[in-house]
Amino acid sequence: MNKILNNTKGDRWIWLIVILLSIISMLAVYSSTGTLAYKQGKSTETILFKHMLMIFAGIALMYISHKIDYRYYAGISKVFMIITIPLLLITLVFGNNVNGASRWLAIPGTGFTFQTSDFAKLALITYLARMLSRKQENIRDVKESFAPIMGAVCLVFVLIMWANMSTALMLFGVSILLLIMGRVSIKQIMITCAVGGCLVVMVALLGPRRHLYMTRIETWRHPEKASVEKKFQGDHAKIAIATGGIFGKGPGNSTERNYLPESYSDEIYAIIVEEYGLIGGVTILGLYLFLLYRCVKIVTKAPKAFGALLAAGLSFSLCIQAFANMAIAVGLGPVTGVPLPLVSMGGTSILFTSVAFGIILSVSRHIDENEELKSAEKTEAAPKIKNKVIVGEIGLA
């Protein structure tokens, strides 16, 4: 154990945030899965044990990925993109259909399913960081730089959006932030936004979930006109938050967990506020804000453009998703299927999130090693400089 701790590098605060979020996740999932356990004919302890295994596996993946030099991910990103496009297409055609959306793909022979959009987010962000860092000399060249970058963004965007609008919009927003950081011209960014807007309109009008999108937006905008069934999830999330008060009802004392759909996933923030009150809700928000702050520090210290863009893209993706989940829970947006990173119960989504954290920590580890090396060089150089000064003084004497 001591050997593992000694080999654990990178930002210590991020490690602490991950551990705290994992502990909160186990408490919240155990409390909110009673109804799910009853439906599946299992005990809540069985579901919790499976969730804990995924968390420990995620931490192990995070440890492994943080030990890999982040510069290797530039080469891996090409392989990721080659795999991502056919994987998203296969998911749309053969994926498991839930509520009219094909988001999950079964892993043959394992019984596991995973959302290919989680892998696509990781692939697109690493690929964009690589392309933007390598094309800096001719970043404004349309044929050499802009066309392949915009093509990758829009292709992945529309393939995800066909079944998962919320995830696609967040990923598109992160991509635009990376384009701004990568010094792409405002004109080219506006073109990308215009193309993205057209794709959104196309999917919203022609996609398989077009009626669901319109219904959710109308329910959010005019809840007084919506039926009880349509606003059921949003209303019970608000009830959970409103009855939590300042200190909450206490761990395991939630009542809305028995009514809220996906109380252990999309609406887990509402359950946390109900049981731990305003203090618990603010604590979760504070942890993600502090995570964003630590990641921004890593971005500003990164010596290479690729490391800075990679850490920025992954951290923005995680934090924007977290803020979106919390905003939806309190009624600031229409209901969507966006989980709370590292807190919501999930399978492979926890693993992909952990890998993203590991890559951020890999960039941080590289920064720390460079600073240690510079400090050591200064320490070794100091006696030599002192000896030269003494010799010079003797010579003058």
Residue 26 token pair: 């186990």
pLDDT higher than threshold 70 for residue 389: no
pLDDT at 394: 43
Q: What is the pLDDT of residue 390?
A: 45
3-state SS, residue 353 = helix
Q: pLDDT-based confidence at 286, cuts 50/70/90?
A: very high
Does 118 score more than 80 pLDDT? yes
Residues 6+ apart with CB under 8 A from 65: 354, 355, 358, 359, 361, 362
Single-letter code of the amino acid located at 233: Q
Rounded CA gap, 324 and 338, in Å?
7
Assign 287 a pLDDT band (cuts: 50, 70, 90).
Answer: very high
Cross-strand bridge partners of residue 101: 98
310, 133 Cβ separation under 8 angstroms = no
Question: What DSSP assignment string belongs to 99-126?
Answer: TTEEEEEE-TTT--EEEHHHHHHHHHHH
Q: What pTM does this model have?
A: 0.89
C-alpha angle 27-28-29 in degrees, rounded to nearest 5: 95
Whether pLDDT at 299 is above 90 = yes
Mean pLDDT of 331-350: 86
**Per-residue confidence band for 98, with pLDDT thresholds at 50, 70 and 90:** low
Q: Would you state the structure tokens that stand for residue 325, as one six-digit string?
A: 């989940």
Q: Is beta strand 113-115 parallel, antiparallel or unpaired with respect to 96-98?
A: unpaired
pLDDT-wise least confident of 38-42, 67-71, 152-156, 304-308: 38-42
Alpha helices in 139-228 (DSSP H): 147-161, 165-181, 186-206, 210-221
Q: How far apart (Å, rounded) are the C-alpha atoms in residues 58 and 275?
A: 26
- The burial class, CB within 10 Å (0-12 / 13-18 / 19+), for 220 is middle
Residues 139 and 145: their CA atoms lie apart, in Å, by 6
pLDDT band at 14, cuts 50/70/90?
Answer: very high
User: Does 384 score more than 70 pLDDT?
Assistant: no
Gap between the Cα atoms of 123 and 84, Å rounded: 7
What does residue 380 show for φ and ψ, rounded to 5 degrees? Answer: -70, -35
Distances, alpha carbon 72 to alpha carbons 69, 77, 89, 102, 313, in Å:
6, 9, 27, 32, 17
Range among 202-216, 286-300, 335-349, 357-371 rated most confident: 286-300
Confidence (pLDDT) at 313: 94
With vertex at residue 356, the alpha carbon angle to CA 18 and CA 288, rounded to the nearest 5 degrees, is 45
Mean pLDDT of the chain: 85
